[in-house]
Structure 1
């Protein structure tokens, strides 16, 4: 059976329900036409554990397979903790890349011909054969690559893998190889020597034009240096769990990478550590000694997520005389440093800094205002494990209104310019209220 509806109407329906999987499944069951249209939304992402690779490849082997028509955009091979203990024997990645259908017509790149984002966890050079590495080059449309906890015998090997994707624009690196007794017993002394000898740094520059680089957790400083020069870089993101993870070596490597990125437009820096700390960590000194954003004349957007009393102030003070024009500033995780009668953070100073010429084109200063709420603020709502938002007339909403008023009073100059944008952020906790 086929139902005749204007394609424009069907596309509009899909746009409305594309984030609602139950509705998408119901839509796909109406008729074959609806199924064909819903499939790319239902199977947007495939995530596989190594234990599931054989089953996945059997599906790909089948002559009636429909994976190739699903329009898969994201493919991820992830490792579970129990599987991390036998990395040496892991053949899942290579099995995926070297697979070919019995008729010789289909490979993973042809099955996933629309793939835009590829993600590997616990990846090492011993997992890839020459054929597997060559097959990476057949992912012609991949623009985003995520590598988490990677280990190679030298930096040339990992750069060669990154350089395999001709259309690659965005690279995410998460952590470095985890060295413990288990992994060292598999890899022996070789890996320890690789990470400690500078002669392994002799690499060829990347031929691809990366536009976005995202570093998460403690990415090896020498690997960061190996990515330079990257003159096409437009967006840089850096996220550390602890302040101590931004070592002198990493700060220096980041500074070197950004100094050659004259096209940089967006800079994001985050530290997850969840308590207010003073300047004695050396964060301000380490950052500004090695990372100089005044060399990036096209910088337009800055995002900081650092719960630190002075770091944001020093950051913007270093830019206030620069020949750049920031248009958007996002500041996160500062809302707990303000109270009704006192503030641990000098908002008056920040307000004054943001009036300098560097910030004359500011269109918005975004701050998130955080409130934690508990069971009393959701009385009458349907029972659930967690709640996205409190009741409209609850004490939590009243606290939010009070806190937002305080923020506006702390930044009066930005408020008068109409650029102060406050974003509500609620978080449910059973122990609150």
Structure 2
């Protein structure tokens, strides 16, 4: 479906692609936005239209959040939801985390290089109640921002959101019950004693005994590993240094890697942000209802709908039926709006170049959607895509490089997201979150 606005840019009921094409051909409407595609009528006001109940359904995940816009129809058997628009939002939490680490390394190097020693201070390190890490806050703000955007494009009156809570101990041990929840791996041990018992007081890699042993990460922290006891092993100094930043499997010891339990950061991220998303939605003064992951799975199985992020969102809530789900999905990838830092640094925090002082060049900014008409040369033809600007006015549009700014025509301003269409029953590779799939 195509989003429709009245002549004062107020949301009306979405229409079919065929009807939108006819309205544009008869010059009764103009293109308001390309992604998501939206038209604006020239001869219609909100007061002259009849609106039906439209809602947003959301299935928040660690790496990907599914969203669905539906038109609700009340029947004798209960409400039936008709899909109007499906999308999935790929978060950039990992990117935010990496940039925060890079910034911390740069600051640490500057302080140690330019300042005399200063003892650490702890009297100003308190955190406000409910504070989320930047990587988690990015996920929450993406979900809230897109619900607000959909409110500007469609007459939204209700929101259904899944607030699943993952049992991290049951994920590790499905048979756990009763008092075992209070007894972790270290029950009756200290960390070092537990590791010595677990690894038989010998190096996990070469089997050396009666030598000094060091605590080592099976999956290095630089590769996403954690300080959980299940990710720790014992190694002699030569093996620890030879392993470096490789995983145990890459080091040639798959049997050691098999003892490391999978990380639970995706489940932890969902558990941490679920109420922050719910509270943010309730502040929008909409009819917000929270549902469990079990209800989502029940609806998906009952109606025979395949598993995908956007389709999971469509199955959130109580309903007697669903239709119109086998359509293309708009994949929305969060990229951010660039960086405020104007200095490029290497992995050790040393300066290695500078960015432009101003981000706008001849009216274009990196990330704008443009159309470039190149009459001759290596890149002759029409190129449509996101632009990367340079101070000299020689731009890059998708794969075409060295295109003059005079050949570019602006289609849509950068808004911090990248868009593409994918089938509804196939999720894009590399963005599936284990926590969201576990529901």
TM-score range, shorter chain: under 0.3
* Structure number with higher helix proportion: 1
* Structure number with higher strand proportion: 2
**Highest RCO, 1 vs 2 (Cα 8 Å, sep ≥ 6):** 2
TM-score by length of 2: 0.19
TM-score by length of 1: 0.19
Structure number with greater Rg is: 2
